[in-house]
């Protein structure tokens, strides 16, 4: 009987493959089609040229990248010490404190940003005076848990004896940190960066809610679809997709290198 | 109108009605508590029950009490009242309707919310069931055909258009005038049938009830030589203007589009996050001198001339508007599509670019907290807008039974008691004046008529809308004096406002592209706008990051040296 209901590996993958085809591959194909055609369906490269010859789209790309980079950097600088303390110190209540950092994730982010908006209004008086700063604060607030969690997990797995060995061999605390802890926590840093940087580039809802009236990539794409210009909208989506692929590749390579490093150390 | 009624209405806030969800989320934000916000999310209740009208009902209305639910088909077709219209067989009809969110009475009113109009027939209006359910019952009863309404909503005209482009999803939709103009131009709409315009047919509430003022606009505006009214039946209408706090901003200041770009109110005004409304405001600022030129103000053909001015889309105008919009962007608190009302009510901003219906809502909400705002319509010009019902050619597809149901739906929505229910629930102004029924005027009077003992009152004529003659003494509301720039003014603008109320045409392909490109230019970050100080800051940031990276890579050397 048991034999009859066994599935091969291939069969087990079918549901996911179907999902992938329906909701990833096909839509992507449609986007590619629109990106390289004009209103009447003829092949054209005009949309691509449009993107790179237009100061607006380039400016928006830069603006998005800068926001994403600043948010990621701030998240990293805030999250690393926290994760380090939580993971390395012998705090009895470590997991509880960690929970406190993760807790906001249980609440829908629009509610969180709405609340944050009120706090910022109290602090700044008028939200419209510092749109960039507010965006960075709101996004940092939103993505911090995504940075803390991977860092915490990696730091928790760090073998205490490695640190002791380094200290025994004469390394000062700074050297122990920079030559053992930091390299070994690289996988956590990289997955943290991936999880913050990519959504930060496109999450225009936060910008809208916090009254930053400058477009980022997400809102720029939306604006083209709003005016029924699906071709240019698709092209910008495709370019954004390309940018994301590049970022993932770079971080992925870093991850691999690091895996080798770790092997060398161990 | 008695004191109890007024308080009741104010408290329930249904005066504005429709936008309850927005209101709640705005309040919750004020409380800073996500938990409270969660608790405040309203649970839409579906109620079943009987017809809305409780008392002796609208004059000439054939209110029928039906038991809700499924009457079997044979019985239904037998029992069909003599409507005089050909019943299109006993097949069940499916009618797919798309309307704006929160733009129809969803029923479920509390008993205390019943509107006691106190007119001759002592009409009491109460929304018990949703309008859709009531329509299904009414249609079955009077046409003997079972109709199943699939009701969906959309958030913007553009969303609707995209959906229409993607597939044949709807039979009857309610876009704004520029969108149905576009749809007419693209030959995608089904003309209304001749029988729809027959005033002698009992159920033709629309053609009998629509205000002459609105009828005239629908007849005189044309697309490719065809009047709007061939395809579209009006639903709601209004103007655009400025909601402002009269303690901080004078009426004079609020009555010019220039306030939206005035550095004096930097960070204190909101503008609309859509290109048409913002472009209109920019044109108002750009052409201020011309529009206020005494020669034009006193011209016989003033409306035609300012309509021409406010519909300019040539390159030069668009380029100039772009500069003004950039100033507005710098100056504004936010570009908003929904949040502006809450920001106005909570006092975060002093002035707010609004559609009249939302202005009424904002004023009502503020009033609950004893905060009194006002509404002004710029002296230069205002954009008069309409939402109207249109049938889609693809959807109806020649199906006479379906078309009959669609037109019956429009008529049902135009039945005076239903008009009042919708107006009460959503807060906008219907295009229906009532025809031979006085219910709608009675409702306006119920809303805005002053107490008998009120001291400071004014006589506010609304005849232009109800009878086509503004001097008609039958249609003068005795209102409290401040209503002259508050809700009454927003819902039924006086004649001088209508003399500068311009219909904004839809943009054709070429103009659309140009104006949208202009909008993208305004909203996008432009590298050229950075000053050298900004570049210096960016440079410094990059240097710091690079230094950190170098330090990290060279850490071994550095540490060894130590």
| Tens digits of pLDDT across chain A (266 residues) | 555 778 788 888 888 999 999 999 999 999 999 999 987 888 989 889 888 888 888 889 999 999 999 999 999 999 999 898 888 777 677 778 888 888 888 888 889 999 999 999 999 888 888 999 999 999 999 999 999 999 999 998 888 899 889 889 888 888 888 888 888 898 999 999 989 998 898 888 899 889 888 999 988 998 888 888 889 899 999 999 999 889 888 877 766 665 545 443 43
**Of B28, B336, B528, which is closest to A55 when you measure between CB atoms?**
B528
Q: Is the pLDDT of residue B1 over 80?
A: no
State mean pLDDT over B166-179: 93
Within 10 A of B69 (CB to CB), how many other CB atoms are there?
9
Q: Is A115 on the interface with B (CB under 8 A)?
A: yes
Q: Is the pLDDT of residue B98 over 90?
A: yes
The partner residues of B96 in beta bridges, in order of sequence, read B150
User: Which 3 state secondary structure label does DSSP give B223?
Assistant: strand
Give the H or E element holding residue B322: helix B315-331
Of chain A, the end-to-end C-alpha distance in Å amounts to 47
User: Which 3 state secondary structure label does DSSP give A37?
Assistant: strand
Q: Determine whether the interchain pair A62/B527 forms a contact, defined as Cβ–Cβ distance below 8 Å.
A: yes
State mean pLDDT over B310-317: 94
DSSP labels for B19-59?
-HHHHHHHHHHHHT-HHHHHHHS--PPP-----SB-SS-ST
DSSP at A165 = H
pLDDT at A119: 93
The partner residues of B149 in beta bridges, in order of sequence, read B95
Q: Determine whether the interchain pair A215/B559 forms a contact, defined as Cβ–Cβ distance below 8 Å.
A: no
Distances from the Cα of B105 to the Cα of B17, B18, B99, B135, angstroms? 9, 8, 12, 12
Tokens of B166: 């993607």
Q: Which residue has the tokens 């209901």?
A: A5
User: Which 3 state secondary structure label does DSSP give B493?
Assistant: coil
Give the C-alpha separation, B210 to B233, whole Å.
9
pLDDT at A1: 52
Give the C-alpha separation, B420 to B426, whole Å.
10
Confidence of residue B195 (pLDDT cuts 50, 70, 90): very high
Q: Determine whether the interchain pair A214/B348 forms a contact, defined as Cβ–Cβ distance below 8 Å.
A: no
**Of B28, B33, B527, which is closest to A59 when you measure between CB atoms?**
B527
- A-chain CB neighbours of B182 within 8 Å are none
b/e map A179-217, b = 16+ CB within 10 Å: bbbebbbbbbbbbbbbbbbbbbbbbbebbbbbbbbbbbb
For B509-521, the pLDDT digits (tens) are 889 889 988 998 8
Q: Is the pLDDT of residue B84 over 50?
A: no
List the alpha helices (DSSP H) in B115-198.
Answer: 131-143, 157-166, 177-185
Under 8 Å between Cβ of B102 and B92: no
For B228-240, the pLDDT digits (tens) are 999 999 999 999 9
Q: Determine whether the interchain pair A56/B521 forms a contact, defined as Cβ–Cβ distance below 8 Å.
A: yes
Give the C-alpha separation, B139 to B96, whole Å.
15
For B439-498, the pLDDT digits (tens) are 999 999 999 998 888 888 999 999 989 988 888 888 999 999 989 899 999 999 998 999
Under 8 Å between Cβ of B235 and B429: no
DSSP at B428 = P
- B-chain CB neighbours of A229 within 8 Å are 513, 516
pLDDT at A256: 63
Q: Is the pLDDT of residue B61 over 50?
A: no
**Of A107, A114, A178, which is closest to B555 when you measure between CB atoms?**
A178
Contacts of B558 (CB under 8 A, 6+ apart): B551
Query: B17, B23, B11: which is closest to B343 by C-alpha?
Result: B23
pLDDT at B7: 34
Give the C-alpha separation, B478 to B475, whole Å.
10
Q: Which residue has the tokens 């709409």?
A: B189
b/e map A62-75, b = 16+ CB within 10 Å: ebbbbbbbbbbbbb
DSSP labels for B245-302?
-TTTS-HHHHTSGGGGG-GGGTTSEEEESSHHHHHHHHHHHHTHHHHT-HHHHT-TTH
CA atoms in the 13 A half-sphere facing the CB of A92: 0
List the alpha helices (DSSP H) in B339-494.
Answer: 339-345, 356-368, 393-396, 400-413, 416-426, 439-448, 463-466, 487-491
Which chain B residue has its CA at the smallest distance from A170's CA?
B560
Lowest mean pLDDT among A202-206, B133-137, B318-322: A202-206
Give the C-alpha separation, B285 to B308, whole Å.
15
ipTM over 0.90: no
Interface list for A 243-262 with B (CB within 8 A): none
Contacts of A153 (CB under 8 A, 6+ apart): A188
Give the C-alpha separation, B34 to B524, whole Å.
32
Under 8 Å between Cβ of B479 and B448: yes
Under 8 Å between Cβ of A216 and A60: yes
Within 10 A of A265 (CB to CB), how many other CB atoms are there?
12
Instruction: Please tell me the distance in Å from B335's CA to the nearest CA on chain A.
Output: 6
Q: Is A167 on the interface with B (CB under 8 A)?
A: no
Query: B244, B260, B425, B237: which is closest to B329 by C-alpha?
Result: B260
Angle between helices B416-426 and B400-413 (to 10 degrees): 70
Q: Is B166 on the interface with A (CB under 8 A)?
A: no
Q: Is A88 on the interface with B (CB under 8 A)?
A: no
- The mean predicted confidence, pLDDT, of chain B is 83
Q: Give the β-pairing of B382-383 and B222-223.
A: unpaired
Among A109, A114, A219, A232, the strongest candidate for a mutation testing the B interface, having the largest count of B CBs within 10 A, is A114
For B263-311, the pLDDT digits (tens) are 999 999 999 998 999 999 999 999 999 999 999 999 999 999 999 999 9
Which carries the bigger pLDDT value, residue B468 or residue B522? B522
Give the H or E element holding residue B243: strand B240-244
Instruction: Please tell me the distance in Å from A100's CA to the nearest CA on chain B.
Output: 16
Query: B380, B403, B400, B406: which is closest to B310 by C-alpha?
Result: B380
Q: Which residue has the tokens 């001198």?
A: B289
pLDDT at A97: 80
Q: Determine whether the interchain pair B525/A73 forms a contact, defined as Cβ–Cβ distance below 8 Å.
A: no
The partner residues of B53 in beta bridges, in order of sequence, read B125
pLDDT at A227: 80
**Of A112, A215, A225, which is closest to B523 when you measure between CB atoms?**
A215
For B8-53, the pLDDT digits (tens) are 333 333 333 333 333 333 333 333 333 333 333 333 333 333 333 3
Instruction: Please tell me the distance in Å from B161's CA to the nearest CA on chain A.
Output: 8
Query: Model's pTM, two decimal places?
Result: 0.82
Q: Is B334 on the interface with A (CB under 8 A)?
A: yes
Sign of CA dihedral A221, A226, A230, A232: negative
b/e map B524-542, b = 16+ CB within 10 Å: bbbeeeeeeeeeeeeeeee
- A-chain CB neighbours of B527 within 8 Å are 55, 58-59, 62
Which carries the bigger pLDDT value, residue B64 or residue A48? A48
Give the C-alpha separation, A116 to A210, whole Å.
9
Tokens of B224: 């490719």
Q: Is the pLDDT of residue B223 over 50?
A: yes
Distances from the Cα of A40 to the Cα of A50, A229, B167, angstroms? 17, 12, 18
Query: B179, B331, B361: which is closest to B257 by C-alpha?
Result: B331
Contacts of B395 (CB under 8 A, 6+ apart): B96, B168, B169, B170, B171, B172, B190, B402
């Amino acid at each position: 009987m048991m034999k009859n209901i066994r599935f091969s590996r291939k069969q087990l993958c079918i549901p996911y493959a179907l999902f992938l085809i329906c909701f990833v591959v096909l839509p992507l194909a449609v986007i590619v089609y629109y990106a390289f055609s004009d209103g009447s369906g003829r092949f054209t490269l005009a949309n691509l040229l449009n993107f790179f010859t237009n100061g607006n789209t380039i400016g928006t790309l830069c603006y998005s990248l800068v926001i994403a980079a600043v948010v990621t950097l701030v998240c990293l600088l805030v999250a690393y010490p926290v994760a380090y303390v939580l993971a390395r110190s012998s705090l009895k209540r470590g997991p509880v404190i960690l929970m406190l950092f993760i807790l906001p994730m249980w609440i829908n982010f629009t509610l969180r940003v709405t609340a944050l908006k009120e706090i910022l209004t109290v602090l700044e008086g008028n939200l419209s005076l510092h749109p960039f700063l507010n965006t960075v604060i709101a996004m940092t607030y939103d993505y911090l848990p995504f940075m803390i969690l991977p860092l915490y997990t990696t730091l928790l797995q760090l073998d205490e004896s490695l640190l002791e060995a380094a200290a025994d061999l004469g390394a000062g605390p700074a050297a122990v940190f920079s030559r053992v802890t930091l390299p070994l926590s690289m996988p956590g840093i990289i997955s943290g960066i991936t999880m913050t940087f990519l959504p930060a580039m496109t999450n225009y809802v936060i910008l809208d809610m916090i009254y930053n009236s400058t477009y980022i990539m997400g809102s720029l794409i939306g604006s083209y679809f709003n005016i029924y210009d699906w071709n240019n909208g698709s092209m910008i989506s495709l370019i954004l997709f390309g940018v994301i692929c590049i970022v993932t590749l770079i971080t992925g390579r870093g991850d691999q290198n690091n895996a080798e490093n770790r092997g060398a150390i161990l | 109108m008695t004191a109890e009624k007024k308080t009741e209405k104010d408290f329930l806030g249904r005066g504005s009605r429709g936008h309850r969800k927005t209101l709640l989320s705005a309040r919750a934000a004020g409380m800073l508590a996500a938990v409270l916000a969660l608790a405040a999310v309203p649970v839409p209740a579906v109620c079943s029950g009987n017809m809305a009208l409780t008392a002796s009902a609208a004059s000439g209305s054939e209110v029928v009490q039906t038991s809700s639910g499924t009457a079997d088909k044979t019985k239904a077709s037998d029992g069909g009242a003599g409507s005089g219209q050909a019943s299109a067989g006993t097949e069940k009809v499916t009618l797919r309707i798309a309307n704006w969110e929160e733009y129809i009475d969803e029923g479920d009113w509390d008993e205390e919310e019943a509107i006691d109009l106190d007119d001759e027939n002592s009409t009491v209006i109460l929304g018990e069931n949703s309008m859709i359910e009531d329509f299904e019952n009414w249609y079955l009863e009077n046409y003997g055909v079972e109709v199943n309404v699939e009701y969906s909503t959309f958030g913007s005209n553009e969303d609707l258009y995209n959906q229409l482009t993607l597939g044949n999803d709807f039979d009857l939709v309610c876009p704004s005038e520029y969108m149905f103009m576009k749809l007419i131009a693209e030959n995608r709409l089904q003309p209304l049938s001749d029988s729809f315009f027959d005033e002698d047919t009992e159920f033709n509430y629309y053609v009998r009830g629509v205000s002459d003022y609105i009828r005239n606009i629908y007849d005189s505006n044309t697309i490719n030589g065809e009047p709007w009214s061939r395809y579209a039946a009006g639903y709601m209408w209004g103007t655009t203007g400025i909601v402002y706090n009269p303690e901080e901003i004078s009426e004079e200041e609020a009555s010019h589009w220039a306030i939206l770009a005035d550095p004096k109110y930097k960070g204190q005004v909101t503008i609309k996050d859509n290109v048409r409304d913002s472009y209109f405001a920019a044109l108002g600022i750009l052409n201020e001198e011309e529009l206020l030129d005494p020669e034009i103000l006193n011209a016989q053909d003033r409306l035609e001339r300012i309509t021409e001015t406010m519909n300019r889309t040539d390159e030069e105008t668009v380029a100039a508007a772009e500069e003004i919009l950039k100033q507005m962007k710098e100056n504004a608190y936010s570009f908003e599509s929904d949040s502006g009302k809450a920001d106005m009510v909570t006092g975060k901003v002093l002035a707010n670019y609004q559609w009249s219906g939302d202005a009424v809502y904002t004023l009502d909400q503020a009033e609950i907290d004893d905060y009194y705002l006002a509404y002004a319509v710029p002296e230069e010009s205002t954009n008069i807008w309409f939402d109207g019902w249109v049938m889609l050619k693809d959807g109806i597809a020649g199906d006479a039974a379906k078309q009959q149901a669609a037109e019956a739906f429009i008529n049902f929505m135009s039945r005076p008691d239903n008009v009042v229910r919708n107006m009460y629930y959503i807060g906008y102004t219907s295009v229906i004046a009532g025809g031979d029924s006085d219910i709608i005027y009675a409702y306006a009077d119920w809303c805005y008529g002053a107490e008998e003992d009120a001291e400071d009152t004014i006589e506010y004529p609304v005849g232009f809308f109800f009878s086509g003659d503004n001097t008609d003494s039958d249609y003068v509301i005795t209102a409290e004096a401040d209503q002259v720039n508050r809700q009454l003014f927003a819902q039924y603008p006086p004649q001088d406002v209508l003399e500068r109320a311009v219909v904004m045409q839809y943009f054709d392909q070429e103009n659309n592209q140009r104006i949208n490109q202009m909008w993208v230019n305004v909203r996008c970050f432009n590298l050229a706008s950075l000053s050298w100080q900004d570049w210096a800051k960016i440079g410094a940031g990059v240097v710091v990051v690079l230094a950190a990276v170098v330090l990290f890579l060279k850490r071994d050397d550095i540490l060894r040296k130590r």
